[in-house]
Structure 1
Amino acid sequence: MNFPAEEDFHRLLDALTLCVLLHDAETKAIVWANRAACEALGFTLEEILPLKAKDMTRPVPRYRREIGVGAMDRAITEGPQVYEWCYRSRTGADMLSEAIATYVPLRERGVVMVQFRDISIEDTLKQTLRRYESRLREFMQDLGEGVAVLTPVGAVEFVSESGRRVLGLQEGVPMGDVLDYCSVSDRDRLLQQLANAPRIQPSAPQRYRITRRDGTPVWLRITCRRIEIEDDLNGRLLHFRDITDEVAVEEARRNEARLLEYAGRYNAMGEMATAIAHELSQPLAAVRNFIEGAIRRLAQPGVVDDVLWGLRSADRQAERAAVIIKSVRDYIVKREPSETYVDIRDVIADVAYFIELRAKEAGVAVTIEQASEALPVYCERVLIGQVVLNLAFNAIEALTECTNAAARRGELRLVTSLRGKYALVQVVDNGPGVPTEAHGRLFDGFSSSKAGGNGIGLSLCKNIVTRHGGEIWAKPARQGGLQCSFTLPVVTVPAR
């Protein structure tokens, strides 16, 4: 076999940037070093040749000469050996290295070539990464948010410790299919969210009511995004948080709001009690008169027709009283929230009777100007009616208390119209108005446009309107007084 000459081999290795030491295959003594090795260790070739392991190696047990010699012996019998070695330079600086011992038969003799490269930076990075990983695990252990990675086909590739805790998973138990946690009705929605996951930022959060592995029902807020990191990590990154407490608080607030709205309706009825009593007294008195007249006529012969006329008249008056009572009952009765598609003009018509009744007692003229086209909105009909009532009653009371009421008659206008994509309702009076600086805070709590008022009714109006996606505001009326307006989004009523 034609082996290379040692001098030619030296010339070849000297051209490398990789550090190389040649050891005699039998004695393991250094017989040559290339230029890169001399520069890295800070010795000349002449200085390196007589050196032993103790002269150029970090003095710790794991770098004993016997270990290095053993690696070189195995390289001769078993092939190339890779091991870690820590060289020490002339200045005493340690150079952690990845060494590869390879047996090379040269023409003159056999040698073991030890190639080495500085891996100090890599080792430092590995240690740093291990520390970061340990810290990250500790931090994620205490997070209230879970993290999971799904493969492109939807399999769970990773779930954080905090995520296992959120899902009620015991250690070592696989997470399983994410869809198994959702109700059947929510599965399509979750699949849609995963399919539409954006690349740059998380998706809009969505809520799901899920059942933990321990059987506990909880609410989760889930966001996700697509991840594509070459071939290393692909799929969907999910963040999920237990928001059961938040949902419970929100439900409690909704219940409080419903109770407040219900109390507001009772308050409105209380303010109208006198007018309603007066309105009912007329048909009831007429019923009594017609019945008494009919009884007297029955005592006389040949008066059946007159009696029938009196009884029919009494029936009509009783029916009128029943209509009044039913209107009050329909408004005041406690109802669960029920959103529906409705023409805002119909809502105005629902409450017009009560407004006109209250205005009649106060001597206020009411004008209703309805839009010519339909104004369909999606709302809780009773609550939006309450907003109109509150605004109208507030205006009527302001007109009643107006000091110059004798000079001109109070006027109240209710106007509906279309403004862009919104239905607009305006309640306009010609009363004293409110100071300019009060317009911006009129619908905040405890701010009122009338003397002695606490403003809760107006604050309630803002709460209801904003919850329906609208806005409410006040400004001076063109002819003096106050103009209160609110909008609701116009919607397309689905075909039935």
Structure 2
Amino acid sequence: MNFPAEEDFHRLLDALTLCVLLHDAETKAIVWANRAACEALGFTLAELLPLKAKDMTRPVPKYRREIGVGAMDRSITEGPQVYEWCYRSRNGADMLSEAIATYVPLRERAVVMVQFRDISVEDTLKQTLRRYESRLREFMQDLGEGVAVLTPTGEVEFVSESGRRVLGLEEGTPLGDLLDYCSEPDRERLLEQLANAPRIQPSAPQRYRIARRDGTPGSLRITCRRIEIENDLNGRLLHFRDVTDEVAVEDARRNEARLLEYAGRYNAMGEMATAIAHELSQPLAAVRNFIEGSIRRLAQPASIDDAVWGLRSADRQAEHAASIIKSVRDYIVKREASETHADLREVLAEVAYFIELRAREAGVTLTIEQAAQPLPVYVERVLIGQVVLNLAFNAIEALGEGTNERTNEGTNRSVASERRELRLVTQLRGKYAIVHVIDNGPGVPADAHGRLFDGFSSSKAGGNGIGLSLCKNIVTRHGGEIRAKPAQHGGLECSFSLPLAAALAA
């Protein structure tokens, strides 16, 4: 078998793009270099042979000749050595390199072969990445948002420092099972969110009430998506933000809204006190008359049947009075939020009794026109009923003599008693259920329609518009809209729309 000649080995080494220097194993002097090394350092082979480390190395302590010689010596006794070295070319350009020193006992002499390649670009990139990482850590230090990676089996592979702070975890403390932070009902929701995590974009955010590791309660807003990075990450990427303060503010606002809505109902009944008293006076007077008649019948012989009939009639009237009081109490009583599926026609029917009382007292003719088909909505029945009441009472007030102003800028024109009309109309329009409250009163100035529900724009003389603003708040919170416009035959038409409930509208 013929082995390649020495010249062939030189040709092979010269063909490499990797730089190669051969050093005498004992003196460490350069005895040969391939073409790539000569070109990288800017010297010919003849110029390289007499050079020492100080002639071709950056002059800093970490690149002293003793350090390089030490790496070569270790390669003789310990095997190949990998180290960082900075060569300096003939024109003064530095070349940061990864060098590998390998001991090779040749036939004529033992040498240390040093292979090196330029890693300046890689080092610059590493420094840039380290700088970005430091900045990112610094920027994320004060964030109220955490990042976590869950494996396909649900184990926590990574959690950011800001995430640890959000969850109340001290440094080095294991996160544990993420589900342990949630209440039982929220665990099911979180599992469903993780199972349905999309691949391209984050999932819709969901809120969860949690107990931090230190025991304090809190609220998180979580989004997630599926990640699949080959040979790196695989699982779910979670972003979670501390929204405890935000939730607390929203809860406080909701409580304030409930109190205001309750006050609105109480005020509405206060305004109707005269009508309610009149309505109660009729059955109470009948009760008294029936009882007095029964007493007289009992004093007469053979009149026991008439007395019994009178007492039973009195009992029926007492029940009627009790039902009136119960209707008022059920409406006024403070209730917690309770959204439910309902037919908007039934919501209107529930408050129609009070509107009829108020209209009768004011001499207003009330007409109710219900839609022929169901109007399924998902609402708080009491609140939407209050909107209908507020709009209807507002219209009746405007129709009454001496209280016709819709705003302080409005006219004082009164409406003749025979023309006082109020229409309540329910309607289905596309994907919305609508209630119209239409009167033939004096209306409002043309520039007032758009701001009628903005607060402090009253529909009554001396009013402050809080009732109408309350209507807007309630309707908007239910995903609907409220508006006002001139009625077709004079007066004002106020209407509000609510989205149909998909579960019942299908």
Shorter-normalised TM range: over 0.9
Secondary structure in 1 aligned to 2:180? Answer: helix
What secondary structure, in the 3-state scheme, does the structure 1 residue paired with 2:488 have? coil
Give the C-alpha shift of residue 164 in structure 1: 1.6
Aligned pairs for 1:406-425 within 5 A? 406=416, 409-425=419-435
Number of residues of Structure 1 aligned to a counterpart in Structure 2: 494
* TM-score, with structure 1 as normaliser: 0.93
**Between 73-82 and 482-491, the greater mean CA deviation after superposition:** 73-82
Cα deviation, residue 22, structure 1 = 2.3
Task: Tell me which residue corresponds to 1:200.
Answer: 200
Q: 1:326-354: per-residue Cα shift (whole Å, max 9, x none)?
A: 22112112222222222222211111111
The separation in 1 between residues aligned to 2:5 and 2:192, in whole angstroms, is 70
1:464 is matched with: 474
Q: Evaluate the alpha carbon distance shift between residue 404 and residue 185 of structure 1 in structure 2; reply closer, same or farther with a 3 A threshold.
A: closer
- Partner letter of residue 178 of structure 2? V
Measured after TM superposition, the shift of residue 469 of structure 1 is 2.3
The Cα shift of 1:396 comes to 0.7
SS in 2 for 1:87: strand
- Superposition pairs for residues 130-169 of structure 1, below 5 Å? 130-169=130-169
Q: Identity of aligned pairs, percent?
A: 86
CA change 1:315–1:72 in 2 (3 A) is: closer
Q: Deviations over 1:404-461 (max 9, x none)?
A: 4128511111111222222211111111222232222221122223322211111111
User: Matched residues in 2 for 1:168 and 1:389: separation?
Assistant: 49
Is there any run of 5+ residues in structure 1 with no aligned partner, and where?
none
Amino acid at match of 2:39: E
Aligned partner of 2:240 in structure 1 is: 240
Q: Are the counterparts in 2 of residues 4 and 106 from structure 1 also a CA contact under 8 Å?
A: no
Distance 2:106 2:308 in 1: 138
Q: Which shows bigger deviation, 351-360 or 60-69? A: 60-69
| Greater Cα offset, 106-115 or 197-206 | 106-115
Which amino acid in structure 2 is aligned with residue 336 of structure 1? E
The 3 A distance-change label for structure 1 pair 407 and 386 is: closer
Query: Which aligned pairs between 1:216-235 and structure 2 lie closer than 5 A?
Result: 216-235=216-235
Q: Which moved more, 1:109-118 or 1:291-300?
A: 291-300
Higher mean C-alpha displacement, 484-493 vs 347-356: 484-493
Give the corresponding residue for 1:337.
Answer: 337
Change (3 A) 1:392 1:27: same
Alignment correspondent of 1:475: 485
**Could you tell me how far apart the structure 1 residues matched to 2:388 and 2:332 are?**
15
Q: Alignment partner of 2:265: what SS? A: helix
Amino acid at match of 2:147: V
How far 1:16 sits from its partner (Å)?
Answer: 2.2
Sort the Cα spacing of 1:308 and 1:80 in 2 relative to 1 into closer, same or farther, 3 A. Answer: closer
Q: How many angstroms apart in 2 are the aligned matches of 1:45 and 1:336?
A: 92
Does structure 1 residue 61 correspond to structure 2 residue 71? no
Contact 2:200 2:225 in 1 (8 A): yes
Q: Kindly state the Cα deviation for residue 263 of structure 1 after the two structures are TM-superposed.
A: 0.4
- Aligned-pair RMSD on alpha carbons? 2.3
Cα contact 2:363–2:417 (8 A) shared by 1:
no
In the alignment, the residues of structure 1 paired with residue 225 and residue 217 of structure 2 have an alpha-carbon distance, to the nearest angstrom, of 25
Per-residue displacement from partner, 1:308-343 (whole Å, max 9, x unpaired)?
444444333333322222221121122222222222
Q: Is the contact between residue 219 and residue 247 of structure 1 (CA under 8 Å) also seen in structure 2?
A: yes
CA distance in 1 between partners of 2:83 and 2:318 (Å): 106
Q: Judging changes above 3 Å, is the alpha-carbon distance between structure 1 residues 77 and 321 closer, same or farther for their aligned structure 2 residues?
A: closer
The structural deviation recorded for 1:5 is 4.1
Contact 1:210 1:217 (8 Å CA) reproduced: yes
Mapping 1:24-35, distance limit 5 Å? 24-35=24-35
Change (3 A) 1:394 1:5: same
Is 2:323 the counterpart of 1:323?
Answer: yes
Aligned to 1:23: 23
Paired residues of 2:203 and 2:224 also in contact (CA < 8 A): yes
Q: What is the letter of the counterpart of residue 437 of structure 2?
A: V
Letter of the 1:437 partner, please give it.
D
Which range moves more in the overlay, 316-325 or 353-362?
316-325
Partner of 1:189: 189
> Match of 1:148, SS?
strand
Does structure 2 conserve the Cα–Cα contact (< 8 Å) formed by 1:3 and 1:106? Answer: no
CA distance, structure 1, for counterparts of residue 3 and residue 29 of structure 2:
21
Question: What SS does structure 2 have at the residue aligned with 1:440?
Answer: helix
The residue identity in structure 2 corresponding to 1:464 is I
Q: Secondary structure at the match of 2:92?
A: coil
- Structure 1 residues 75, 5: closer, same or farther in 2, change over 3 A? farther
- Aligned mates of 1:148, 1:309 — CA distance in 2: 79
CA distance 1:125–1:338, change in 2 (3 Å): same
Range that drifts further, 136-145 or 260-269: 136-145
**Structure 1 residues 493 and 95: CA distance shift in structure 2, 3 A:** closer
Supply the distance in 1 between the matched residues of 2:281 and 2:194 (Cα, whole angstroms): 65
Give, in angstroms, the shift of residue 179 of structure 1. Answer: 1.4
Report the Cα distance in structure 2 between the residues aligned to 1:229 and 1:272, rounded to whole angstroms: 69
Unaligned runs of 5+ in 2: 405-412
Q: Deviations over 1:60-92 (max 9, x none)?
A: 333222332333334345443222111111222
Contact 1:41 1:89 survives alignment (8 Å): yes
Judged with a 3 Å threshold, the aligned counterparts in structure 2 of structure 1 residues 53 and 6 are, in CA distance, closer, same or farther, namely farther
Range moving further from structure 2, 97-106 or 244-253? 97-106
Counterpart-to-counterpart distance in 1, 2:38 and 2:207: 66
Query: What secondary structure does 2:238 align onto?
Result: strand
Report whether the alignment pairs 1:450 with 2:460.
yes
Q: Secondary structure at the match of 1:169?
A: coil
Partner of 2:9: 9
Task: Sort the Cα spacing of 1:141 and 1:492 in 2 relative to 1 into closer, same or farther, 3 A.
Answer: closer
Per the normalisation by structure 2, the TM-score is 0.91
2:63 maps to amino acid: Y
Q: What displacement does 1:255 show?
A: 1.1
| Contact 1:71/1:81, CA 8 A, preserved across alignment | yes
Contact 2:75–2:103 (CA under 8 A) maintained in structure 1: yes
Q: CA deviation at 1:301?
A: 4.4
Preserved CA contact (<8 Å) 2:399 2:414: no
Structure 1 counterpart SS, 2:495? strand
